[in-house]
């Protein structure tokens, strides 16, 4: 009997200790999960590829500890207001380029499509994680209150898809084109009229004549989102080989996330970047060859070279503004020179 009493007494102490340990733990499954609202720049059809698979995987792997609700282009706030909405906590995270969401940092001009900054999709990752752009972006956003830059990756090249065929630079003059802010600023030098619209209104704007074309994507997106149904011509020349987009988060919300879930989200971003690399790379080639909806046109190389020459002047103007912009342009030129000297397959011609 005495031994039984000692056993029960010890068991009670053990149970109490275990209970104390449980209460002191930073997280238990019975707690409510961390919930984020993340808005992407992409509409629903495009988001099915550029972000949704990764977010679905994160939610599954987070095992009830955290859940990210995904919202599409302009669903909660207009794309141009994404930065402010994230900064003030209306939304918790964003997938976008710096340029479209009007990020108040000097490097935002390089987000999206900076003319001829890249030739291939892998250039983006190389520039950020081998040539130092990641550190520059961290520095820039470190000066902004309550927004954390997390990761950059590449998307598709920037081509024109139009209602009328484009066979020369002359054909671009006067064309009303939906495009990104910096790309539009550059294209206006060739008579293009940049137009800003909500993403979901673009297809209808082409049908009603408000737009003559789009310079927002490659051919993969044209087919995916339905633009190939309203723009029968695709120009094979592009003004940039890959779109630079990033993930961002409200800093207060990011700092509340436990380290293991931060690491899981970093892996999720890498997964998203990887998926796009092969999805776009395969899609651009396949749809040029096998796509039934769009006729390919090309501006001759000699004439297109004048566009590349104008981009050099554009780069000089941006670099002349000094600071980080000058540093980024210097890196872009150093990288391009290494690629040229390396020769095929890094650069041809």
Any domain includes 192: yes
Note whether 102 and 219 are same-domain residues: no
CATH of the domain at 308: 3.40.190.10
Please report, for the chain, how many H helices and E strands are present, in that order.
13, 11
Note whether 54 and 122 are same-domain residues: yes
CATH of the domain at 125: 3.40.190.170
If you search the block for the tokens 């409510």, which residue do you land on? 32
Domain containing 75: what range?
34-156+243-283
Question: pLDDT over 70 for what percent of the chain?
Answer: 91
Closest of 180, 182, 148, 158 to residue 269, by C-alpha: 148
pLDDT digits (tens, 9 = 90+) for 238-280: 999 999 999 999 999 999 999 999 999 999 999 999 999 999 9
Q: Is 163 exposed, middle or buried (0-12, 13-18, 19+ CB in 10 A)?
A: middle
Res. 349 pLDDT band, cuts 50 70 90 = confident
Whole-structure pTM over 0.95, yes or no? Answer: no
Note whether 209 and 119 are same-domain residues: no
Any domain includes 348: no
Which pLDDT score is estimated for 77? 96
331 has a pLDDT exceeding 50: yes
pLDDT digits (tens, 9 = 90+) for 43-87: 999 999 999 999 999 999 999 999 999 999 999 999 999 999 999
- Terminal alpha carbon distance of the chain: 93
pLDDT digits (tens, 9 = 90+) for 220-248: 999 999 999 999 999 999 999 999 999 99
Domain count, the chain: 2
Contact 112, 194 (CB under 8 A): no
Closest of 163, 110, 166 to residue 133, by C-alpha: 110
Note whether 68 and 214 are same-domain residues: no
Calpha distance 339→345 (Å, rounded): 9
Any domain includes 60: yes
Contact 54, 48 (CB under 8 A): no
Res. 206 pLDDT band, cuts 50 70 90 = very high
18 has a pLDDT exceeding 70: no
Any domain includes 107: yes
Calpha distance 148→138 (Å, rounded): 8
Which pLDDT score is estimated for 119? 97
């Amino acid at each position: 009997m005495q031994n039984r009493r000692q056993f029960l007494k010890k068991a009670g102490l053990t149970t109490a200790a275990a209970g104390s340990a449980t209460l002191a733990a930073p997280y238990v499954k019975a707690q409510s999960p961390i919930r984020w609202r993340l808005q992407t720049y992409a509409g629903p059809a495009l988001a099915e590829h550029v972000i949704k698979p990764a977010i679905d995987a994160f939610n599954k792997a987070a095992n009830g500890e955290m859940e990210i609700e995904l919202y599409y282009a302009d669903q909660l706030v207009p794309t141009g207001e994404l930065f402010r909405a994230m900064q003030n906590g209306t939304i918790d995270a964003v997938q976008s380029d710096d340029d479209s969401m009007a990020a108040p940092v000097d490097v935002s001009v390089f987000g999206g499509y900076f003319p001829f900054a890249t030739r291939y999709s892998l250039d983006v990752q190389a520039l950020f994680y081998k040539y130092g752009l990641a550190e520059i972006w961290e520095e820039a956003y470190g000066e902004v209150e309550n927004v954390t830059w997390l990761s950059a990756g590449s998307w598709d090249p920037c081509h024109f898809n139009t209602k009328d065929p484009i066979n020369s630079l002359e054909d671009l003059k006067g064309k009303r084109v939906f495009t990104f802010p910096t790309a539009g600023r550059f294209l206006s030098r060739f008579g293009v009229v940049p137009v800003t619209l909500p993403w979901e209104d673009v297809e209808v704007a082409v049908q009603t004549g408000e737009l003559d074309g789009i310079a927002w994507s490659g051919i993969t997106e044209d087919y995916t989102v339905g633009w190939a149904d309203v723009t029968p011509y695709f120009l094979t020349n592009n003004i940039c080989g890959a779109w630079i987009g990033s993930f961002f988060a409200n800093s207060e919300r990011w700092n509340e996330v436990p380290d293991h879930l931060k690491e899981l989200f970093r892996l999720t971003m890498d997964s998203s970047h990887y998926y796009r690399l092969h999805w776009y790379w395969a899609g651009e080639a396949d749809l040029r060859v096998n796509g039934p909806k769009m006729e390919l046109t090309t501006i001759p190389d000699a004439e297109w070279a004048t566009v590349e020459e104008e981009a050099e002047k554009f780069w000089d103007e941006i670099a002349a503004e000094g600071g980080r912009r000058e540093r980024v342009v210097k890196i872009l030129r150093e990288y391009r020179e290494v690629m040229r000297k390396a020769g095929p397959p890094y650069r041809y011609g």
